[in-house]
Structure 1
Amino acid sequence: MEQQAELQQLESFLVQYEQGTLPSVNWLDNLVFSRIRDARSMQLRIAQATDDFFQLLVELPVYVRPVIFRERREDVEPLEIHSWQRLTWLVDDEVNLMLENPAERKHQKLSRSVGRGVIDMELKPDGAEKRRLSAIIQLPPTRPLDMESQNLLWKFRFAISHDPRALTKFLKCVDWSDPAETQASVQLMREWAPIGPAAALELLTPTFSNSEVRRYAVSILRQAENEDLLLYLLQLVQALRYETADDNELAKFLVERAVANEVVGNYLYWYVLVQRTPPPAERSMSAFRMFERASRAKDTRGRSVWETLKFQRELMEKITIITQEVNTLRGARKVERLRAILSSDNTLGAVLTSFPQAIPNPLNPTVLTTGILASESNVFKSALSPLKLAFQTLTGDSATMIFKKGDDLRQDQLCVQMISLMDKLLKRENLDLKLTSYRVLATGNDTGLIEFVKSQGLADILKEHEKLTTYIALHNPDPHGPNGCTMTSMMNFVKSCAGYSVITYLLGVGDRHLDNLMLASDGRLFHIDFGFIMGRDPKISPPSMKLCKEMVEAMGEYFSEFKTYCCEAYNILRKSESVVLLLNLFSLMADANIPDININQDYEKALLRFESKFALELDDEAAMQHFISEIHRSSNAFLDPIFERAHRVAQYLR
């Protein structure tokens, strides 16, 4: 026991010595070290003789330089910290100076030698590598690829060339500054399994600047029908800004389609024209000139179509002047002045009420209009006093649209496009949620047209009828139906509520109140005014979707069906091909001056927020539970009724 106590005391002194709290005396140090070795040997022999033997050896690192941190002990004097001047600083160039590691770079170049192509063609991934490749291929287009993933894709590029989903990932790992690697990659790209339009859109983003890659993307888009092309024509016009030459393949393709199809030509004209407004996009200006030359060179019909497009532009300029004049007046005098201008016999009135020739409706070019009906036109009571204009059609009907001056409608235009696209994706899966796909067309930085849909705001309905079902039953009566409504109108309401709940959740639509939720007479609900998206909202802690108690009460016993429709729609839009398409469309809008996408030049964060709404890490069952929890949180939002009352007070004071 005495020997064990002595050893423990010596070990304690040794710890203090190593920590620098005991002074070093050479002759005494040697004696103590010798005594410690003897004591340890004696203790070991005793333990072995009594079968009570257990030994743990721990090797601790020895530092040549001073260590400036140690565990504090109460019974030990504080260790003096060595001065910073005596420390040796080592700088890691890779981390601190953001420099490339030459060893890694050399390894990458050797492993990617084009001369290895014959060998790489025979390489097959093992089980673990297959799982890793599958995970990489399934990543959304917004995720960057690390060096390990890029090397793995390159190594097995031939083995995965049968998978169309892998092409965009492979092209991201190519070193385009290496001519030999570029040539080999372009050749393999042409032999790859054909991709679809969604992946082709990614190849037109600024990530890919190689002209051959962009030409390949256009060749894929050439296979699309005009109906599908119109769904992402807005983004294709934005992609022109990333081309490196005026005479590029994308511009040629768009102009060819526009000259051949007047509907495509109408929208291309306005999309490109808006891009030409300050600050102008150089490639868009050259595409506009190319479009004009091609239209005039086609034939008499081509020249006539171009002249009608020019007349549309002149018409918008005249209506802008009228709006500015009307806004100088107050109250009912605005409507009187608008109708007086349209009914006058002067040059302006004559041109507006009777066009020189029938022109396509800018919002819907399939409808030809002949003039503006003064008696049916009006001015809305709001801060910007938008005009409600009724256009006489060639068939004798009227097409009503709203002209706004003072608002940038490009964000609304994008949101309405996304709603129409998602509606089409849902209908492809046989899910019709009765969405109202009205049209919006920006005609300038602060002017634009909105299709008028006959409806009434929920705020006005509740003020007049107290319950939404009373309004629906008034237009769709059925004494034996739910709440006195027909079953069709009730299901229109439930389905449309579900559709817009999912879509506004994904788009992060904010500033939702009962004045920008509209209800049509057949029970379909829809949203307007998309001034806040991607999670932005002027309110504090807003719900993720607008689901007020009046809407829940109107659904009544069908609230469970509402949740079922929501979950079904959410999982359809979470499918890989849908997510890729939607993310790529938003990626192409990075430089489109959409306020809430590139706010504070933080576009990448906005895109990641959009991606996070799809909860891609969850399976379908978990995603359903996730969305149901969002529904319950939104329907029970504590602050939402308070903000709703504050909004009504603000509207009253205005």
Structure 2
Amino acid sequence: MEKIKDRESGRNGSSLYVVVEFCSFEHRVVFQEAGSNFLIPSPITTSNELVTVWHPEVGKINPSEHKQLKLARSLTCGIIDRDLKPSSRERKSTQRILKYPPTRILSGDERQLLWKFRFSLMSEKRALTKFLRCVEWNDVQEAKQAIELMGRWETIDVCDALELLSPVFESEEVRAYAVSVLERADDEELQCYLLQLVQALRFERSDKSRLSHFLVQHSLRNIELASFLRWYVAVELHDPAYRKRFYCTYEILEENMMKVGASGDEDRFKLWQSLKKIEKLRQLLSGLLSELTYFEEPIRSPLAPGVLITGIVPSESSIFKSALHPLRLTFRTENGGSCNIMFKKGDDLRQDQLVIQMVLLMDHLLKLENLDLHLTPYRVLATGHDEGMLEFIPSSSLAQILSENRSIISYLQKFHLDENAPFGITATCLETFIKNCTGYSVITYILAIGDRHLDNLFLRNDGRLFHVDFGFILGRDQKPFPPPMKLCKEMVEAMGGAESQYYTTFKSYCCEAYNILRKSSNLILNLFHLMAGSNIPDIASDPEKGILKLQEKFRLDLDDEECIHFFQYLINESVSALFPQMVETIHRWAQYWR
């Protein structure tokens, strides 16, 4: 270059030339081939030697590709893009991308494709979350344009708004937009997501965020939301890493409720004051039993804030025979009834709380499609990292029932005998049992709930079957070679055997329920993604692996017809599995000798 400059400078400036100056580096530039290990380079003897070493920046975005991407976007960010329409091939590629689950990371080409046709995608509400993943938020102009387009985009659904509250999206404008969508949800729907919304506070940049304000304002209008919100936040105070942020939210709750009382809205203020009396209840439980027989004034039940409890019935309360000796307390209610609550100390109930929330949500989703499986999700509330309470439902384990009766049918005949009906039990009782088996078979398969045995499957005398104890989820299981779902031969026999019409009905219900829940896979995946930062054992150990395991359960690569054949195969495999039957027998003997 110096020779060219010298030569051209003597020609009276008649020639034009360009000088391109490349970056200079202090040290030698080295190269790493894919898959190479860390090696200490040998002394460099010639300037042409190629040295292969590991470098921490390898694997990050290529600087030249990044520059090319910015140049491409700057050239097409103006009026040109507004009139662009995708070709048939590009449209197919776009539709394929929009069907991706929220866990899927977009490639560079996919990001560029969505950005290129962003204007034509604005009428597709499901495209917004994918588009926002394509934005280079460090580029001020690009981020500004994205925020502007977001405001004009077709309004997204609530399940997609939950995705925008995940740690993937740091923009305060995007998170505020997600909250504005949540404001369309009613209190019943909001309560389905409340546990995850409290976790989403972890990813907020400000203590007084739009999400925090939204949760406070809704809790002012609904006592159940206020009660559960307070407990969920209080439990997070045990996490030192996030204590400061959650404590600020807790103080905001207290402060806002006190303002409500000062403004003259006495009814709401009294509701909030009653929540604070739950703390008094916990103190009373450590006192003498006589002090608990009658409370000075009614206290709202933490599990069901709409119920007022007035005292404990000593004669109906007891202690369970287990390692942790949980209490079963029977409370009087103000309307003359009673409710049973189990208190546990020394056990982390946050995972059980999450599973029961999912059961409630999936039950709600099935009912929206006119499939009521009569599920019995008992209430669970963690009040700390090693304590909590559960709703006690009078029932017996299948292990106990089968040890005292010849079969499930003979047990149900004691309560719902009908000599003219199939199997000698009423049609209502039999239908309830079949539908309950359906619901829990599908749900426990999707959530990959492990450690299933006859001691944690319970049956009520009206035919309602339900699962308890969710210490292993998302594929973890302490038993070797677990079946896809817990469907023992005794349950099949209660339906008349594998050749009966009732068993065929059961399989039909299973396939229908599975396909219904697959339609809401994005919602369920988004809720678990928001739980990734929690300290729930089976999620905290490896959040990414757990969520991918959950995604696999939905088999999004299959259509509905293919899924029917797939799920019927799973049912047959679960029923015919021999090894789990051997493990169950060993478990029964272990329980007997214990």
Gap change, CA 1:94 and 1:264, over 3 Å in 2: same
SS in 1 for 2:317: strand
Task: Check whether the contact 2:223–2:272 (CA below 8 A) recurs between aligned residues.
Answer: no
Structure 2 letter corresponding to 1:162? S
Aligned counterpart in structure 1 of residue 159 of structure 2, from 188, 191, 198: 198
Deviation at 1:311, TM superposition (A): 1.7
What does residue 14 of structure 1 align with? none
Deviations 1:33-73, CA, capped at 9 Å, x for gaps: xxxxxxxxxxxxxxxxxxxxxxxxxxxxxxxxxxxxxxxxx
Deviations 1:172-223, CA, capped at 9 Å, x for gaps: 0101111111111000001000011100000000000100000000000111
1:124 corresponds to 2:68? no
What does residue 592 of structure 1 align with? 534
Cα distance in 2, alignment partners of residues 168 and 314 from structure 1: 45
Structure 1 letter corresponding to 2:387? T
What does residue 381 of structure 2 align with? 441
Deviation at 1:313, TM superposition (A): 2.2
Unaligned runs of 5+ in 2: 1-44
Task: Check whether the contact 1:353–1:373 (CA below 8 A) recurs between aligned residues.
Answer: yes
What does residue 422 of structure 2 align with? 482
Structure 1 letter corresponding to 2:247? M
Aligned counterpart in structure 2 of residue 562 of structure 1, from 502, 506, 529: 506
What does residue 24 of structure 1 align with? none
Cα distance in 1, alignment partners of residues 333 and 157 from structure 2: 38
What does residue 357 of structure 1 align with? 297
Structure 2 letter corresponding to 1:148? D
SS in 2 for 1:112: helix
What does residue 288 of structure 1 align with? 250
SS in 2 for 1:144: coil
What does residue 442 of structure 2 align with? 502
1:400 corresponds to 2:362? no
Task: Check whether the contact 1:114–1:180 (CA below 8 A) recurs between aligned residues.
Answer: no
Structure 2 letter corresponding to 1:571? N
Task: Check whether the contact 2:329–2:340 (CA below 8 A) recurs between aligned residues.
Answer: yes
SS in 2 for 1:193: coil
Deviation at 1:257, TM superposition (A): 0.6
Cα distance in 2, alignment partners of residues 281 and 581 from structure 1: 28
Across the aligned residues of Structure 1 and Structure 2, the Cα RMSD in angstroms comes to 1.9
Task: Check whether the contact 2:396–2:460 (CA below 8 A) recurs between aligned residues.
Answer: yes
Deviation at 1:281, TM superposition (A): 3.5
What does residue 192 of structure 2 align with? 231
Cα distance in 2, alignment partners of residues 421 and 624 from structure 1: 22
Cα distance in 2, alignment partners of residues 359 and 597 from structure 1: 34
Deviation at 1:514, TM superposition (A): 0.5
What does residue 327 of structure 1 align with? none
Task: Check whether the contact 1:203–1:217 (CA below 8 A) recurs between aligned residues.
Answer: yes
TM-score (norm 2): 0.88
Aligned counterpart in structure 1 of residue 267 of structure 2, from 301, 306, 331: 301
Gap change, CA 1:406 and 1:94, over 3 Å in 2: closer
Deviation at 1:143, TM superposition (A): 0.6
Deviations 1:310-359, CA, capped at 9 Å, x for gaps: 2212323443x47xxxxxxxxxxxxxxxxxx42x3xxxx2xx22222212
Structure 1 letter corresponding to 2:154? A
Cα distance in 2, alignment partners of residues 257 and 357 from structure 1: 27
Which deviates the most, 158-167 or 107-116?
107-116
What does residue 313 of structure 1 align with? 279
> What percent of counterpart residues are identical?
50
Aligned counterpart in structure 2 of residue 580 of structure 1, from 493, 510, 522: 522
Alignment of structure 1 residues 37-116 onto 2, 5 Å: 89=50, 97-113=58-74, 116=77
Alignment of structure 1 residues 1-12 onto 2, 5 Å: none
1:631 corresponds to 2:571? yes
The alignment of Structure 1 onto Structure 2 pairs a total of residues equal to 541
Cα distance in 2, alignment partners of residues 101 and 500 from structure 1: 48
Task: Check whether the contact 1:387–1:402 (CA below 8 A) recurs between aligned residues.
Answer: yes
Cα distance in 2, alignment partners of residues 466 and 649 from structure 1: 18
Task: Check whether the contact 2:221–2:268 (CA below 8 A) recurs between aligned residues.
Answer: no
Cα distance in 2, alignment partners of residues 92 and 317 from structure 1: 63
Aligned counterpart in structure 2 of residue 608 of structure 1, from 548, 568, 578: 548
TM-score (norm 1): 0.80
Structure 2 letter corresponding to 1:231? C
What does residue 15 of structure 1 align with? none
Which deviates the most, 604-613 or 365-374?
365-374
Gap change, CA 1:93 and 1:644, over 3 Å in 2: closer
What does residue 525 of structure 1 align with? 465
Cα distance in 2, alignment partners of residues 508 and 650 from structure 1: 25
What does residue 26 of structure 2 align with? none
Task: Check whether the contact 1:546–1:634 (CA below 8 A) recurs between aligned residues.
Answer: yes
SS in 2 for 1:232: helix
Cα distance in 1, alignment partners of residues 58 and 529 from structure 2: 30
Cα distance in 1, alignment partners of residues 54 and 489 from structure 2: 59
Structure 2 letter corresponding to 1:366? G
Deviation at 1:494, TM superposition (A): 0.8
Structure 2 letter corresponding to 1:564? S
Deviation at 1:93, TM superposition (A): 9.4
Structure 2 letter corresponding to 1:585? L
Cα distance in 1, alignment partners of residues 100 and 53 from structure 2: 31
Gap change, CA 1:139 and 1:373, over 3 Å in 2: same
Gap change, CA 1:444 and 1:95, over 3 Å in 2: closer
Gap change, CA 1:93 and 1:538, over 3 Å in 2: closer
Alignment of structure 1 residues 264-279 onto 2, 5 Å: 264-279=225-240
Aligned counterpart in structure 1 of residue 141 of structure 2, from 155, 169, 180: 180
What does residue 649 of structure 1 align with? 589
Gap change, CA 1:614 and 1:381, over 3 Å in 2: same
Deviation at 1:89, TM superposition (A): 3.9
Cα distance in 1, alignment partners of residues 87 and 54 from structure 2: 35
Gap change, CA 1:94 and 1:382, over 3 Å in 2: closer
Unaligned runs of 5+ in 1: 1-84, 323-340
Deviation at 1:624, TM superposition (A): 1.0
Which deviates the most, 298-307 or 520-529?
298-307
What does residue 41 of structure 2 align with? none
Cα distance in 2, alignment partners of residues 114 and 515 from structure 1: 66
SS in 1 for 2:314: strand
What does residue 537 of structure 1 align with? 477
Deviation at 1:447, TM superposition (A): 0.8
Structure 2 letter corresponding to 1:147? G
SS in 1 for 2:316: strand
